[in-house]
Structure 1
Amino acid sequence: MAAPLDPVIAQIIPTLPLRDPATMTPQSARESLRALAAARAAVPPPPVDEVRDIEVKGGAGALAARVYRVGSAPSPTVIFFHGGGWVAGDLDTHDRQARFLAIETGAVVISIDYRRPPETRFPGAFEDAFASARDVFDRIAEFGCDLKRVGVAGDSAGGNLAAATAIACRDAGIGLAGQLLVYPATDAVGNYADTTENARFPSRAENAEGYFLSRAVMEWFAAHYLAEPGHAQDWRVSPLRAKSLAGVAPAVVTTAWFDPLRDEGAAYARALEAAGVPVRHHEGAGLIHGYFSMGEASETARLEAQRARADFKALLARGA
């Protein structure tokens, strides 16, 4: 039997944004995530030694990025892609996540402000993610200084971009030490609206609504990201549909029990294992989508996120 919903999380859910696709617009989604981040401003962010805004190469020009550093010795480097359904989210909304990632892994973390829809639709975000990863490799002396210890990470839509970037890096002969995929979207075929496709993942019905992220909101996100429904067949959107996952970087995959994306994330972990890729899967018992941002309120969320980051740290260390 699954663990019950964490009671602290249950109290948080009614305060969370992005829950009404009937009235949501790209601008309102962005503003609501920024407002949520601003509401936490009274709590000092976890301290790191350096935070610096830079630019990296994207798929069509320079992108804003933010570097987080703990210490000055050579270290792993992690390219981080924020969540927000491809549409919302930015460097500020995911500042705390990037800080915790740097603190708990010891890595230099570069958070990437990729282009978002509807202004730039697929494959813009993917092209930015992969181009930024290549640029970080080319400039590794500015970051962790160790090409053998470079990883990618992301949450939700950012986890989708991290997974797709890991496949692209394999195909380009770029060696990653690991990938951290936090409740990732891995199969958008059917755009979360097709009954047959949704039936492949029972969590889309079990957790369709009531737990912050809803299936209807995922449908809204996919419709904004993809100019054509057929684009969802592309592995750069749906990495679970890649012809082969053999040889991609070792992975830490987290899911959340009360999340419509739970089953496709778990399916991706199984597909990686079947392809011979080392995987650690954290099931997120009692938790919802977005719990990596709730660790300062929920002990359950904090401990689960820490376990995943510790596993990712171990992957980065083994790359040495």
Structure 2
Amino acid sequence: MINIFSKKDSEKDNKNDTIEQEVVAEETHKAETTDTMNFLKEMTVQIEEIIKQHNKVNGEHEVLEKLTKQIENHMETVSNLTENTNKSTDNLFNQGETLLEITKDTVNKSLEGKKSIEDMVKVIENLDIETKDTYENINALGEKLKEIGEIAQLISGIASKTNLLALNAAIEAARAGEQGKGFAVVADEVRKLAEMTGESSSNISNLITGIDSQTKNVLNSVEKSTLVVTEGVESSKGALEKIEEVLDSFNRVEGDADKLIKTIDTQKEDISKIFNGINEVNKILTETNDQIIKHIDEAHKVDEKLEKSVYHIAHHLK
């Protein structure tokens, strides 16, 4: 009997130990389960926070993407504007070169015109000198004619006196009778010579009067021509001065046009540099935008995986 009770007590103790072990194991399992639950809850909170941060980042990425797109649009507009400005600058540069060529051609033609007028002025000045010389020569001729006229008058006076002396000699020869006949013949010849001399002197005086009248007319014409030539010289000099002023103006225009072309050329280079810089910036923005889009796509994929993981964890926790 004692052995039987001892055996039962031993079985009972073993059973109690087993139950106690099961209780301890269950408590341990519960504790581990609780720890796991707490860890999973904490992980869920952290994952949800990560998702929020990713959503925030995604939102910022969307804003950045829109901003990048706007910048691209603005850069394209600026690029087009710069290109149009570059074309306008090229046109302006070409027009400036054309203006410079026209100005140079005009200056050359003006110089040729100036040379022609200078030659004409010299010709007119020489003509003026010759006209004045002619006037002086004709005037001197008039003085000589006056002297000849005075001599002709003197000869006419001598002829008159000679004729009178011949007449007196003829009278005296007639008184002398036969002895005075030879002297009368001489006196008659002297009288005839005196009359011829008087007529010649009268003709010379008439010719001198006519020549003097014509000389005065020629002098008047030469004097008028001299005035016209003098006015022509003054007008030509005035025209020459105007051409010189025009040449000065064209030279200034040529200088300004040359400076303008150099300035446009410099601006053209600057615009070209700006255009290249804009293209470089546009290239960098495009590459950056591609990288941003790539990161956004990757972030979306990570978000989707996180959302699925959180969903499964939350579902199992429930």
The interval holding the TM-score normalised by the smaller chain is under 0.3
Which structure has the highest helix share of the two? 2
Structure of higher CA gyration radius: 2
The TM-score, its normalising length taken from structure 1, stands at 0.14
